[in-house]
Chain A
Amino acid sequence: EVQLVQSGAEVKKPGESLRISCKGSGYMFAYSWIGWVRQMPGKGLEYMGIIYPDESETRYSPSFQGQVTFSVDKSISTAFLQWSSLKASDTAIYYCARLIDAHFDHWGQGALVTVSP
């Protein structure tokens, strides 16, 4: 069974750094793109970008280029989403999802990130 399990909720202050994780299991993690999706409070889904674990190739949505960093550790089948300096506007739920062809077929449970002074 394909599963994506994300790290838990985080509460941070503006300016702090953060890395959240997404661990895949039940499939060959290295050979499927992983996507990241943001959902701000009460809002819709926003595509952030994707990463291919085998080569660490990344493709960022223009809206998120330079704002976040995607990375992976193939040895532990885990993808990461990282911020170097959080802002209050980064408060949101972040989902990882497996990309197959042109759709996201399995999703993580989401990780709530709260940035507050």
Chain B
Amino acid sequence: QSVLTQPPSVSAAPGQKVTISCSGSSSNIGHKYVSWYQQVPGTAPKLLIYDNDRRPSGIPDRFSASKSGTSATLGITGLQTGDEADYYCGTWDSSLGAGEFGGGTRLTVL
């Protein structure tokens, strides 16, 4: 059971927008940077967002993220079928002294 809570699944039509939430606490998201990862089934995870809201080079600006208090949100606009994947939030937990990932959210583009 992860200390970071994500919805198990979200779905939307191509071209639409979707948001994925990640809820934590003051010992993790509240005081630590959040990152987001995309994992297309059968492949390794890929970094999408780091330091709460920054995109690595090569990640399109259709992907955005924010953090407020003890929660973070990933947003994806202009959905494409290629965006179908599992999305994970990640951060560090000072009470555990370790990194943590959310349980993951499966995105279906209908």
Residues in A lying within 8 Å of B, measured CB to CB: 35, 37, 44-47, 49-50, 59-62, 95, 97, 100-110
Nearest CB in chain A: distance from B36 CB, A? 9
Q: Are A45 and B45 in contact (CB under 8 A)?
A: yes
Nearest CB in chain B: distance from A108 CB, A? 7
A97 proximity list for chain B (CB < 8 A) = 45
Q: Are A95 and B45 in contact (CB under 8 A)?
A: yes
Give CA–CA (A102, B104) in the complex, Å.
Answer: 19
> Which B residues between 1 and 36 are near A, CB-CB below 8 angstroms?
2, 32-33, 35
Q: Are B101 and A44 in contact (CB under 8 A)?
A: yes
Q: Are A104 and B44 in contact (CB under 8 A)?
A: no
B2 proximity list for chain A (CB < 8 A) = 44
B100 proximity list for chain A (CB < 8 A) = 47
Q: Are B51 and A35 in contact (CB under 8 A)?
A: no
User: Could you list some 8 contacts between A and B, CB below 8 A?
Assistant: A37-B101, A45-B101, A59-B98, A103-B33, A103-B51, A105-B50, A106-B47, A110-B44
Nearest B-chain residue to A65, judged by Cβ? B98
Q: Are B103 and A104 in contact (CB under 8 A)?
A: no
A44 in contact with B37 given A95-B45, A105-B47, A109-B44 (CB within 8 Å): no
Nearest A-chain residue to B44, judged by Cβ? A107
Nearest CB in chain B: distance from A54 CB, A? 20
Q: Are A101 and B50 in contact (CB under 8 A)?
A: yes
Nearest B-chain residue to A96, judged by Cβ? B44
Interface: B92 (CB within 8 A): yes
Interface: B64 (CB within 8 A): no
Q: Are B33 and A101 in contact (CB under 8 A)?
A: yes
Q: Are A104 and B90 in contact (CB under 8 A)?
A: yes
Q: Are A62 and B103 in contact (CB under 8 A)?
A: no
A61 in contact with B99 given A45-B88, A102-B35 (CB within 8 Å): yes
Supplied contacts A44-B102, A44-B103, A47-B100, 18 more A-B pairs, CB within 8 Å: A44-B86, A44-B88, A45-B37, A45-B104, A47-B90, A47-B101, A49-B98, A59-B97, A60-B98, A62-B96, A101-B50, A102-B50, A103-B47, A103-B90, A104-B90, A107-B45, A108-B44, A109-B44
Nearest B-chain residue to A107, judged by Cβ? B44
